[in-house]
Amino acid sequence: MARSRNIKPGFFSNEYLAELDFATRLLFIGLWTEADREGRLEDRPRRLKMALFPADNVDIDRMLDDLDHLGFIKRYAVGDYKAIQVINWTKHQNPHVKEAKSVIPEMPGLEASRGEHQESPVQAPDSPSSFPADSLSLDSGFLIPDSLNPSPAPVDSAELFARFWKLYPRKVGKDKAEKAWAKLKLTADLHETIVTALAKHRQLSGWTKDNGQFIPHAATWLNGKRWEDEIQVPVDNVHRLPVRQSGEPDFNDTTWANGLRGRQ
């Protein structure tokens, strides 16, 4: 009986799987829908062809061999019974706990392969998977995260704290501030957000009066995520160009120089 299964973007970026032809890759997805909750199914190429490729001229037996060769499945036999195990099944799928238990014999040697450092390719009956259902990549048993975006570039947290501390106007409790800083999941973007907000806070009246005695300690400011506050810089603190007094000449108007020429 066919079942609904998960497929995620990592499937399409797997370089090993890309070595196989298009039909074989499609077969691999189809095997998931035919497999039971433990990732097993009968090794019956003719039946699989009728279930998955009824209108196509494909060699299912060869395609299964190719998937076996690359380690995506394992074709095995228990006596006269031929079966297929999808490798690392629980890393690919989260079968519903009410799904019927497998009636297909377990792959020989599976119990021996379950050790402290090697995970089983199947899921224990009536227990949810300890792994999130995900799809294929080149690492960690073909597991890949949902996002294919590159990880943020690493930042030097100590160097960025030194910049922050230099900008912070109240130099009190540096050790506590460093501990608060270390708790942040710091990125270059977050650092930019923090120092931009700090520049605005420095212009608040509460920070500028009475020699800054009302400025919170840096640790308090960081722990409170005060950079997320919505603040408006007071108009009086906005830098403005000097206004020309009524008695001063307008140097953009050259008529003021006429008197000088007359005196010359």
- Comparing C-alpha atoms, which of 77, 95, 117, 87 is closest to residue 37? 95
pLDDT band at 44 (very low <50, low <70, confident <90, very high): very high
**Sheet with 73-78, edge to edge strand ranges:** 40-42, 81-86, 73-78
**Which range among 85-89, 201-205, 208-212 shows the weakest confidence by mean pLDDT?**
208-212
* Mean pLDDT score of the chain: 77
Find tokens 């230099």 and name the residue. 166
C-alpha to C-alpha distance for 173 and 69, rounded to whole angstroms: 61
Measured in whole angstroms, the distance separating CA 86 from the mean position of its chain's CA atoms is 26
pLDDT band at 247 (very low <50, low <70, confident <90, very high): low
C-alpha to C-alpha distance for 191 and 185, rounded to whole angstroms: 10
Q: 86 has which bridge partners?
A: 73
- Please give the pLDDT value at position 128: 42
Identify which has the larger pLDDT, 37 or 65.
65
Match domain 9-113 to its CATH number in 1.10.3720, 1.10.10, 1.10.3470, 3.40.720: 1.10.10
- Comparing C-alpha atoms, which of 255, 156, 260, 166 is closest to residue 218? 166
pLDDT band at 248 (very low <50, low <70, confident <90, very high): low
H/E segment holding residue 77: strand 73-78
C-alpha to C-alpha distance for 222 and 201, rounded to whole angstroms: 13
C-alpha to C-alpha distance for 64 and 108, rounded to whole angstroms: 19
Helix locations, the chain, DSSP H = 22-34, 45-52, 60-69, 89-92, 110-113, 157-167, 174-182, 188-201, 205-208, 218-223, 258-263
H/E segment holding residue 42: strand 40-42
Segments making up each domain of the chain, as ranges: 9-113, 157-237
Per residue in 130-189, pLDDT (tens digit) is 444 444 443 444 433 444 445 566 788 899 999 999 999 999 999 999 999 999 988 888
- Please give the pLDDT value at position 63: 94
Sequence-distant contacts of 226-232: CB under 8 A, at least 24 apart = 226/197, 226/201, 227/193, 227/194, 227/196, 227/197, 227/198, 228/197, 229/197, 229/201, 231/197, 231/200, 231/201, 231/204
- Please give the pLDDT value at position 83: 94
pLDDT of residue 236 exceeding 80: no
Measured in whole angstroms, the distance separating CA 50 from the mean position of its chain's CA atoms is 39
pLDDT band at 211 (very low <50, low <70, confident <90, very high): confident
Q: What is the mean pLDDT of the segment spanning 214-230?
A: 92
Residue 115 main-chain phi, psi, to 5 deg: -125, -175
pTM tops 0.75, yes or no: no
